[in-house]
Homo-oligomer: A and B are copies of this chain.
Amino acid sequence: MRAAPAAASEGPLAMICGGGSLPIAVAEQVASRGRPVVLFPLRGAADDLPVEPYRHHWLHVGQIGKFLRLARAEGCRDVVLIGALVRPSIWQVHPDLVGLSYLPAVLKAFRGGDNHLLSNMGKLLEGEGFRLLGAHEVAPQILAPAGTLGRVQPSERDRADIAFALDYLRAAGPFDIGQAVVVAGRHILAVEAAEGTDAMLARVAEMRANGRVRAAAGTGLLVKAPKPQQDRRFDLPSIGPRTVEGVVRAGLAGIAVIAGETIMAEPAELVAQADHAGIFVVGEPPVRS
What mask results when residues 170 to 211 of chain A are scored 1 for a CB within 8 Å of chain B, else 0? 011011111000100111111111111001000100010001
| Interface membership of A213, Cβ < 8 A | yes
Q: Are B185 and A175 in contact (CB under 8 A)?
A: no
CB proximity of A109 to chain B, nearest CB, Å: 11
- Collect the chain B residues with CB atoms within 8 Å of residue A186's CB: 112-113
With A and B bound together, what is the CA distance between A210 and B121 in angstroms?
Answer: 24
Q: Given A168-B175, A175-B167, A177-B168, A112–B187 Cβ distance below 8 Å?
A: yes
Residue of A86, A193, A195, A203 contacting most chain B CB atoms (<10 Å): A193
Which range holds the interface residue count of chain A? 35 or more
Residue of A111, A164, A174 contacting most chain B CB atoms (<10 Å): A111
Q: Are A112 and B171 in contact (CB under 8 A)?
A: no
Task: Determine how many copies of this chain the complex contains.
Answer: 2
A187 is contacted by which of B176, B182, B196, B211 (Cβ under 8 Å)?
B176
A196 is contacted by which of B89, B175, B212 (Cβ under 8 Å)?
B212
- Collect the chain B residues with CB atoms within 8 Å of residue A87's CB: 211-212, 214
CB nearest to A187 among chain B residues: B113
Residue of A87, A176, A214 contacting most chain B CB atoms (<10 Å): A214
Q: Given A89-B214, A203-B195, A213-B194, A177–B188 Cβ distance below 8 Å?
A: yes
| Interface membership of A110, Cβ < 8 A | yes
CB proximity of A230 to chain B, nearest CB, Å: 15
CB proximity of A169 to chain B, nearest CB, Å: 10
- Collect the chain B residues with CB atoms within 8 Å of residue A213's CB: 194
With A and B bound together, what is the CA distance between A192 and B111 in angstroms?
Answer: 22
Q: Are B111 and A185 in contact (CB under 8 A)?
A: yes
With A and B bound together, what is the CA distance between A289 and B185 in angstroms?
Answer: 27
CB proximity of A112 to chain B, nearest CB, Å: 7
A189 is contacted by which of B187, B193, B207 (Cβ under 8 Å)?
B193
A172 is contacted by which of B164, B172, B187, B195 (Cβ under 8 Å)?
B172
A171 is contacted by which of B174, B182, B196, B211 (Cβ under 8 Å)?
B174
CB proximity of A173 to chain B, nearest CB, Å: 9
CB nearest to A181 among chain B residues: B193
Q: Given A87-B211, A171-B174, A112–B195 Cβ distance below 8 Å?
A: no
- Collect the chain B residues with CB atoms within 8 Å of residue A168's CB: 172, 175, 177
Spell out A's residues near B (CB within 8 Å). 86-89, 110-113, 164, 167-168, 171-172, 174-178, 182, 185-196, 199, 203, 207, 211-214
**CB pairs A–B below 8 angstroms (24 shown):** A86-B211, A86-B212, A87-B212, A88-B211, A88-B214, A110-B214, A111-B187, A112-B185, A112-B187, A113-B187, A113-B188, A164-B175, A168-B172, A168-B177, A171-B172, A177-B191, A178-B188, A187-B194, A188-B193, A190-B193, A190-B195, A194-B212, A195-B207, A196-B212
